[in-house]
Structure 1
């Protein structure tokens, strides 16, 4: 394959290579280093988009050099079907303009994920602004079946509130079963009730709640419908009505094992909800990360696509510097220019 034939132009009284086509950009790697007007430039204090410059600065050393310009040119030419598109200096492009190449695959996959056939920097900004909303719209999984229907939350709260009192009640029953002589000692303290007997009992709920949940007995059963501590009766009624009547519809009293079965059922449901929530959150986070990566990929590409030819016109030949077109602002507006005339 023969050498690429470059075209030249006169700028500032010096013959410089002209970059006028996508083919010229494709062959930048073949351009003799002596023909590059600029060999290195800083990222700061330039009339140029800072994000684009940072993308070109692949080694992140704060300067852009010839090899980095060449690397970007090769990437863009492999991503695009027609490298001439770079001369448009546009910030929008149709997905159909991308080549079927390994270099373009990430962008094509990102476009498919975002379900768009054209992209612009304005689109990217809107996608970023609506990122959380778009991912939040993901369909939530079907919730586990609640053991007590729409009353499950109320039952769970009541069981949690009564858990200690229920355990205390059955322990008192076990002591009586062990030794019936304990009955009076583990039952409600009459002295404690006597101490508040002259008070407004309706205002003594806290003291009454300290008494056993129900009268303990050697039969080791907790009554459901009567004989429950009045200070705890409202909470217990929630469990009795919405859980115990469901699991033990004919029962007048329940054993500790039966109560534990209710607790176990609620615990299993809570664990299933927690596991599903974690799974859904993980899926949500993955979707968010994937969508963000897709948006960022297009954001980066569009910056390079829009600005790369302008960068070439200020790096390879400095045509914008000498241009009389006010729309073409030179990257270098002021400073010290070191020229190695070879």
Structure 2
């Protein structure tokens, strides 16, 4: 790079009516930071709607705002110049040789090491150049068979059956963690969670297996006893609370027992022990201080479970018991089962219970957890490679695409000078025997329709459809040919995008602007002809309507008396016609007299002058519009920030719109069997008018 006191010599070219910087050498890129932003053609462009790799645009858009700005372009160019030994590689065909990477600093060494491994995984040698395609397959770069730096270990990374099974158990119970290769494995956090839960379950089982009379009052039958106890506890508690309320206030006993109307519901149907109405009744009749009967007097819906409670819980814990259960006895039973129930309540919430206590104990006592921890640590140590793979990817994409974007951002050389299309050109629209190359995608029709007319271009908006694709909107600038036959509704064309796909295009809107000086020259005459044609059609339609009305009224009305021939009226009509013909003849005579007073060579000049006098206003307006025809508003309407007036002059506009022409060497037959027969009426009429003018001139001379 040149020293700070040596000013870089820029080269500019003029195109589109403004000066544009030429980016031709590595030195131009190295000094791009020094170029005044006022000399940049574009200040920012959107990351969508461009014929440009979206991945490259995402790398350039570092703040993720959907726009690529001047500082982001400068940063990308500066980074490429630092990471390459010679920035001239950006001007060459896609591909980065390993030897081209600048490894003079730590970042460069890490980048080159990662690039070397990418070459290895791609099956290439160090003499081969890295391409974008070599880095697209992330599953190959981050294969499960080798460490990839994400700290996630999959079963394929180990040969140990025990570690493989451990990873499978972790994934099956906890879900696992996504690996860069696309699979699922375990990382340090998930392994720690697994071992913590496993240890908690093992400890819980150990606490429950202690041979203690408090924890196992009924020995091996304790679990079954607690289960039946839990199933009736709420109902037994309810009964004793009701009896306590009756003892507290004897008046409540009647209200705490079921009303007779409850039994009326059950009276006229078959009753089963599972009926909800029966199950909801108290266990027995409520009385102050009464014990719960375990035989007669018990709610039949609960008789079976109470019998189980007596056989599995009450009798084993209290010894021999009569056919009733007091509140004190119930309290004693609850106390004897409290330890077991507290242990059950402390059961850890975990999906690892499905593995079983034997498997969990074996995992905690084995060496597989230690081995997996070491593998996870080794994989995490490869994070440097994983991080630098992104840097390698960035370098490959920028080496391939950055110069193209610069030639559509710093300058518009791809639009004005290159044989390839600019990134904002969507494709080619074929319409009305012409091809339009200046075609842009339109995302916001309302915004575009507001700004685009300031471009001074004749614009055609189209909706394009293709089977299997969402409809798209485009706008095309017509910069050559005639536009008299264009119409909004019903006019169709064909749009070919940059991938060569064809879309049916339907015109939805036209922004009319002058297209050429030649068209402007003839436009007054075309307007007069159109006006005359319209008036004749209106007159013919009016006369046809009058005749139809008169015919209808004549048929419907009664026969009227025949009127005589009005000679005075007839004479008046002919007098008016004569006056009109006289005035016309006088005017023609004056014109012919003026022409005949000139010399023969002056007559064509006078006629030409009259035509120019008529056409000059239209031509002048067209010239002024064509002179200010500008690409900027078209791009600004799509979210660009154009920093100059990018003009589209007449010669360049003609290059953007191709007109239909016969191929070179083609022959054409002029014989048309269906051609209209030529009739000399027009020539005869013209000669008649000229003869009348001569006669009038001779007569009034």
TM-score normalized by structure 1? 0.50
| Higher alpha-carbon Rg | 2
TM-score normalized by structure 2? 0.29
